[in-house]
Every structure is written in structure tokens, then in C-alpha cells.
Structure 1
């Protein structure tokens, strides 16, 4: 029988520093009203000095493994745009700290679409028999690459991690993931970017400029592409699944901007109140946003067995992706999303000097 990847556990981790809009208003030419009216964001969490992306990934991974009822997995996939180092990948370190040394471990770099891409690759590992259980983590610490003087980006992004455990199962059972829809458009390569740090900058004859190490985004163009690409991708994946939009109980879009999420729901013909989101409290957490929102909703008892769920994301590259699943189980007695202490247990010699 065809194997499918089945969701069997979720978890999340937020750093301890909550940054409200009023905190930013004291530093930037902005206000709580300005931020909320344009983004829907009231607060976000930023990592404290000494915390790395791997710390948050380990925290989320631990919770997801506990929720799934077991710690053994065959592979660990980490979706991140802010790895601990340019190389090696962050996933092997995360696997080792979770006691999973020996498991396959690799990173996926698709920015805010990263978690959906990572789910698809993990589903492929399971479908081919390469793995029976896979831990998928979306984790980012965008606070480390934001220009503190740029209010257009500093007010949007937060840090965090979310995770899911997938097991081998049947395509017709609750929790089975798929179909997927993935896409990209490199003509929009410069719309969401960090220009410095890679080979293009390092091997150029141009000396680095102040802004090269900071994240930048062309807001108006990104807004337009995000709504269009997620709408089109969602329509394609629903058609492949044989679902109508009226079949969708919950829409879980990448938590980029409240206005984007509302426009997406309107374009798809899904009532806005069926959109699951936590952007007001955590901001845009990039690759972590979808698993964070799922874990939040699961802990709150919002997701019920049999609920049909549509996941969709858009990010730098440009990239986009969507997937569907039927929620597999009732709510369990678990902690809701809240700041969790990131374990400070990196193997000796693994600490990146940037985070000391």
C-alpha cells in the first residue's frame, strides 16, 4: 500500500524577550496604532543575547517529540533562513542535542515557505521508505538580521520555532499530509533578501556596504505577490485533493501580515474567521509561523478531529507552497504556546562566537 506522512505531534518554542509595539515606538518613528493598522501585530518575541536559532529549534523539537509519544526519528529537517552559521547546516547540531545523533539531518532554505517545503521533503522520505518517522522544524531568529533603524521591517518580524513529527501511515487516514503544491520565481530574487554574507558579495570587487548584512524587503511588491501566489497555490492544491473551498474548516497561512491573510481568505472565498493565526502576539516568525500557529491552535482546542486544514506560505526566492491534511485527533492536555527556556546544551566547541 502507498505510504503517506501522517502528522502525530507538534511543539513550539519562543524566546523569553517579549517586545511590544510601545517598546519599538520608543526607539523608532512609529506607534502602536501605526503598526497594528498596517500589520495586525501587537507584539513579537526576540532572542536574548546568547540564544541561537538552534536553541529555539531544540526547544520546539523536544515538545513535538513528547507530544508524539516518542523520541526516535530517522531524520531531522530544519527549515531556516537564519542558521547558526553559514556552514555547516544547523540540523545536525539540533539532532545531536536532541539525542538523535545518527539520524539524517539537513536544512531547507526557502525563507517563509521553508516549513511547507520541509514538510514536502519529509513526506518524500517517508513515501520512499527512506524514513519511518521524521522531525520537521521551522526556526528563525530574524532579530539578528534586522536593521534597527528600519521601521518597515523591525516592527514585523519575531523569533521562534515550531515543529511537527511525521510518521509513516496510510494516505486515507486522518493526519495524512498531501497533496502538495510548490513553486518559485527567481525573477523576484531581490524582493526579499540579505545581500551580504554569500558568495555573490564575498567574491565581488565591491566593498561591503552598511546595509549588506541586514534583511530588506520591497513591501508593496511582496504584498501583491504573496496574495497572488498563495491564492493560486491554494487553489491548485485544493483541486488536487478534490476539496472545495467550502470543505476547508481552517486556513493556516504564513503569518506575514494581517491584511495579507484577510485578502487571501477573501480571494479564496473562505470566511476570515476560519483563518488560524497568532500574528498579533508573535509577529512574522518566517519558517516558524505555520507550525507555531498550528501548535497554538492545537493547544487551545481549536482543531478538532476531522477538520480539513489548508496550509499555505509565501517567501523569499520567490517561493510558495501549499498542503492539506485532515486533523487527526482531539486536543491533548498540553502547554499552550508561550516563551519556553531554550536549553543551553550545545556540544563543547559548537558555540558560534556571534552568539557569545
Structure 2
């Protein structure tokens, strides 16, 4: 028998405010057609004044717990993947722990920008396989609307806010590729590419800063690195692209999603796509897409999924799991 980290529940939260592409036309030299053609994005959600990264993460977590049939104190650890925590410290995860009313366990954040949820899943899997936790709440949550330069049409139209969460639970499986749960992970980073995607603020400047991106260069790296890490994760798991039921990619740009699927030899009919409705929600995009995929009836128990992401750092990785 083999111990696996199995998904028991999933949930998501999106702010009420929906921003259509046309809303940017009043302040930027852009339009709906331009944004759709370059990104596939049609709309995104922005937080209201009373919403925070932690509050969205908590709402998504509550939905995931409800689906799993669990209470907060059934959870051993909370991991929040975010680059937009409400405060420098304490972590967003400890705020979620408090808002859930969770009186036990431990909580911490992971920061790997858009790849954050992949890194969080990998860490949660390691906690479970090592015996340090039986159940882990893994959340991706972002308020990127609060770090946008609203004069930069190349970035501010691409991002949105939201949160997604899932519950992982230790479960004994047979030890084959037919097992439910996480079958493999692959993590990578290259710090020499820092200037391609970063925020120009922090303790070194004494400011929050704004997101800066060399979009063409990020695109160039994305398709190659995403297809490579997905292939590596599949090889580690002992599966091939023909075994995959669904690709659930980081939802950054429809052209990146299409290019990666093509390199993997998979049709778009096997790809869960939400970028048109949410924009790029960074670390929240994969759990959001997983939750939406379940709600749509696309993702079902027993489906084999590969999920991959790339973000600032550069940091990138993939996870293969059976739902």
C-alpha cells in the first residue's frame, strides 16, 4: 500500500464586482477586441473595499471544507499561496486559520507568484507523505488589482482577483497509476530571469510597488517551460499524455494555454479554460479552475489531471493527480 494525498473537497470565491474589457476604454488606449485578441480575457473580478486576500481565501476554504464534509478543526495545516498578502506579516494563512475558527494545527504562506499553488500542493503533499499532517487545506488567493499600474495597458487589463481552495487527505492506495491523489510533482526556478516579471516595491523601496512585466519574454519562456515541466511530471508518475483526462493550466493567456496543449499533443477539448471570465488571478487561477471544472461537471472522480504554472522568479512546475 502507498500513502497518497487525495483531494476531498474544492471551493472558490470571486468578488462581486465584474469588470468587462470595455471599462478600460475610458482611461486607456485599448479596447475589448485588442484585449481579447492578445489574451483571451473578456472580464475579470476586482475586490471591493471590504474584501481582502485573507477574506477571499477563507470563503473558498469554507466551500472546500463543506464539500469534504469536514470542520476547521479536522484540518492539520493551512497553506496559502499568495503574492498579495494583506500584511507583510503575519501570514495570510494564519489570518485564514483565525477566520475559520481553527484552534489547532499550523498555517503558513508560500510565495511563488503564479506558480504558487503548484508549490503549495507539492509542500502539502510532502507534509502528508512525511506523516506531519493528515489533512491539509491548500489555498491560492490574490488581490492583484491592488498592485496594478493603471496607466500600463500591457499589464493592468490582464489580472483579476479571486481565491480557490482544496482539501487534501492522507489515504492508503494500491501504489499504481490508478491511485487517487497526487502521483507526482515537479518544481523549478531560475532567479536570473527576475526582471521579466516582478513588483517594483518592498522593504528595499519602502513602497508597495506595481507589477512590471516583459510580456513577450514571459510568453517565450512560458510555453516551453510549461510543456517541459508537465512532461517531466507525467514521466515521474509513469503516465503519458494519452492517459490524461484534463489539463488544468495556469490561466494567464489563452495563447499560452493553446501553445502548451499543442506541445503536449492534447486537444483543447481536454483543457479546462476559465481565463476569459477571471483573467490572470496568479496563484488563485489553478484552484479556481479546478473548482469551476468540478462545478461545470467536467472534472469527475477518477479523472487523471495534469496542472502546470509559471510565474515571476521565474518559478514553474507541474503536478499530476487523480481526482
Q: TM-score scaled to structure 2, two decimals?
A: 0.96
> 2-side partners of 1:13 and 1:237: how far apart?
29
Q: Could you give the per-residue CA deviations for residues 26-48 of structure 1, whole angstroms, max 9, x where no partner exists?
A: 22111110000000000000001
Q: Of 125, 128, 153, which aligns to 2:127?
A: 125
Q: Deviations over 1:185-227 (max 9, x none)?
A: 00111211112113x335xxxxx7xxx7111111011001111
1:1-356 equivalences under 5 Å are 1-71=1-71, 72-172=74-174, 174-198=179-203, 200-202=204-206, 213-327=209-323
Q: Deviations over 1:294-333 (max 9, x none)?
A: 1001011111232211111111111011011122xxxxxx
Question: Is the Cα–Cα contact under 8 Å of residues 40 and 279 in structure 1 kept in the other structure?
Answer: yes
> Partners of 2:209 and 2:79 in 1: how far apart?
26
TM-score, with length taken from structure 1: 0.87
Which residue does 1:330 correspond to in 2? none
Of 154-163 and 48-57, deviating more is 48-57
How far apart, CA to CA, are the structure 2 residues paired with 1:65 and 1:234?
28
CA distance in 2, matches of 1:102, 1:305: 30
Counterpart secondary structure, 1:62:
helix
The gaps in structure 1 that reach 5 residues or longer are: 203-207, 328-356
Cα contact 2:4–2:180 (8 A) shared by 1 = no
Q: Is the 8 A contact 1:6 1:174 kept in 2?
A: no
Counterpart contact for 1:170–1:176, Cα < 8 Å? no
Identify if the C-alpha distance between structure 1 residues 171 and 117 changes in structure 2 by more than 3 Å, giving closer, same or farther: farther
Displacement of 1:171: 4.4
Q: Distance in 1 between matches of 2:245 and 2:286?
A: 16
Whether the aligned pair in 2 keeps the contact of 1:2 and 1:127 (CA below 8 Å) is no
For the aligned residues, what is the CA RMSD? 1.3
- Measured in 1, the distance between the counterparts of 2:173 and 2:160 equals 35
Residue in structure 2 matched with residue 352 of structure 1 by the alignment: none
Distance, in Å, in 2 between the alignment partners of 1:145 and 1:256 is 17
Q: What's the CA shift for 1:50?
A: 2.3
Partner Cα separation in structure 1 for residue 56 and residue 179 of structure 2:
29
- How many residue pairs end up in the alignment? 318
| Deviation (angstroms), 1:228 | 1.2
Distance 1:324 1:240 in 2: 9
In structure 1, distance between residues paired with 2:124 and 2:219? 29
CA positional deviation for 1:174: 4.7
Offset from partner CA, 1:100-142 (integer Å, 9 cap, x none): 1332100000000000100111111111111110100000000
In 1, the alpha carbon distance for the partners of 2:272 and 2:46 equals: 22
CA contact (8 A) 1:92 1:101 kept: no
